[in-house]
């Protein structure tokens, strides 16, 4: 089992420092100390060797956060994330000298901070392992010409890895040669509904992206009950982030519908990150959005009333899975899947969604499809006490 990552907080505003410390500990990190001066921060870093430092730029005393961060980097190679209320160009340019792993403007929320921390720790881990660069021999790898994607082909059918990756950010921004090298090493794997991709506790976390369909990430509770904690739509990068941590699989991954996934060799993916560190910013944004959605989703599922749980689940699914048709949002999902997602029985899910249909919030005419006719009404139900 992996130990909690150790973080030093350097912040001279006591209330802000306390809030950061409490938030970190609630998220499972270990705080080695809360320091309010640059000199003490350098000394503390040498004594305790934290995994990461959260550094305010403006500090009391002669040594500000940038000077302290530079010294910590030079002496101990500990990753730094700057926290500051100053986003002007001169401060940013001075901060870049310290080669920070992140730069967050105040005020920030805990979800954004957690995402920045995880990506910084990931980058530091990759740097320690010394990922190798793509060499010229790999760039000369021959790839067969590919058929162009038409509007009708979508993401299904005969789509090839290069075609898919060229439509998924951040890979779509890569030079074509590098993208073709990565794509040539990838493989699209078809899966039937219910087919297992990885089991919680496996030694290796599979590195994949959903091409079509939907993958459920599942956590098993102490009493053996399976709880869906995340659903991955096409193009979602969440599982790539998990794979980069190279720990045991924290979740079970299972195709919830007939699904195609793109298997991505971890070594090739790490090379791309090493060549293009700017991609980490995209991972921070996507991870922050994912954590925020998971938080909102979990808050809804904690409610005692089943209609609130189902309404919350459907609202959370809209931005990631719904298609907008005829002024209504359509989600391809059965009531059984809604029951699994919200921890209730299929009978209760059917009864509850039927009640929403009578209120003209949902339209359930098509089997296996939930059409949201009144999104505002659904949101009001999700937020009701």
Mean pLDDT over residues 103-120, rounded? 83
- Cα distances (Å, whole numbers) of residue 224 to 18, 46, 66, 219: 37, 44, 49, 9
Condensed to tens digits (0 to 9), the pLDDT of residues 194-251 reads: 999 999 888 878 899 999 999 998 888 777 777 888 889 898 888 887 787 767 888 8
Round to whole Å and give the CA distance between 182 and 180.
5
Question: 314 with 331: CB under 8 angstroms?
Answer: yes
State the pLDDT at residue 32. Answer: 95
Round to whole Å and give the CA distance between 147 and 34.
57
Round to whole Å and give the CA distance between 22 and 151.
50
Instruction: Tell me: pLDDT of 114 over 90.
Output: no
Strand order in the sheet with 252-255: 196-198, 252-255, 215-220, 226-232
- Ordered by where they begin, the domains of the chain are 6-129 (3.40.50.2300), 136-297 (2.60.120.10), 303-382 (1.10.10.10)
- The beta strands (E) that lie in 154-285 are given as 187-191, 196-198, 208-212, 215-220, 226-232, 252-255, 259-263
Of the candidate ranges 112-126, 138-152, 178-192, 226-240, the one whose mean pLDDT is the lowest: 138-152
More confident residue, 13 or 294: 13
Q: What percent of the chain has pLDDT over 90?
A: 36
Count of all residues that appear for the chain in the document: 385
Q: In the chain, where does DSSP find H-type helix?
A: 14-26, 38-48, 65-76, 89-96, 110-129, 136-139, 161-165, 176-185, 238-244, 266-275, 279-301, 306-321, 335-342, 346-358, 375-382
Residues 6+ apart with CB under 8 A from 45: 8, 53, 72, 75, 76, 78
């Amino acid at each position: 089992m992996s130990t909690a990552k150790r973080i030093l907080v350097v912040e001279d505003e006591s209330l802000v420092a306390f809030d950061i410390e409490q938030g970190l500990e609630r998220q499972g990190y270990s705080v080695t100390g809360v320091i309010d001066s640059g000199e003490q921060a350098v000394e503390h870093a040498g004594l305790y060797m934290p995994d990461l430092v959260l550094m305010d730029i403006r500090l009391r005393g002669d040594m500000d956060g940038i000077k302290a961060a530079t010294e910590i980097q030079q002496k101990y190679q500990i990753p730094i994330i700057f926290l500051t209320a100053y986003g002007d160009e001169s401060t940013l340019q001075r901060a870049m000298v310290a080669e920070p792993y992140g730069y967050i403007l105040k005020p920030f929320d805990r979800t954004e901070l957690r995402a920045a921390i995880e990506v910084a720790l990931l980058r530091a881990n990759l740097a320690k392992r010394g990922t190798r660069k793509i060499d010229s021999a790999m760039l000369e790898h021959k790839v067969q010409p590919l058929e162009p994607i038409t509007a009708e082909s979508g993401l299904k059918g005969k789509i090839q890895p290069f075609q898919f990756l060229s439509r998924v950010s951040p890979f779509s921004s890569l030079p074509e040669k590098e993208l073709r090298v990565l794509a040539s090493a990838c493989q699209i794997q078809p899966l039937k509904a219910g087919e297992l991709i990885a089991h919680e506790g496996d030694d290796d976390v599979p590195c994949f992206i959903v091409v079509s369909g939907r993958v459920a990430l599942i956590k098993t509770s102490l009493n053996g009950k399976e709880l869906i904690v995340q659903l991955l739509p096409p193009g979602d990068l969440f599982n790539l982030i998990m794979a980069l941590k190279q720990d045991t699989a924290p979740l079970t991954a299972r195709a919830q519908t007939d699904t195609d996934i793109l298997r991505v060799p971890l070594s090739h993916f790490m090379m791309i990150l090493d060549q293009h560190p700017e991609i980490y910013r995209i991972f921070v944004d996507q991870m922050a959005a994912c954590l925020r959605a998971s938080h909102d989703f979990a808050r809804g599922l904690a409610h005692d009333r089943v209609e609130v749980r189902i309404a919350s689940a459907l609202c959370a699914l809209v931005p990631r899975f719904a298609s907008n048709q005829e002024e209504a949002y359509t989600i391809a999902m059965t009531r059984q899947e809604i029951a699994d997602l919200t921890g209730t029985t299929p009978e209760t899910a059917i009864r509850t969604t039927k009640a929403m249909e009578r209120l003209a919030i949902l339209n359930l005419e098509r089997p296996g499809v939930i059409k949201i006719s009144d999104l505002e009404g659904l949101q009001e139900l999700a937020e009701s006490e």
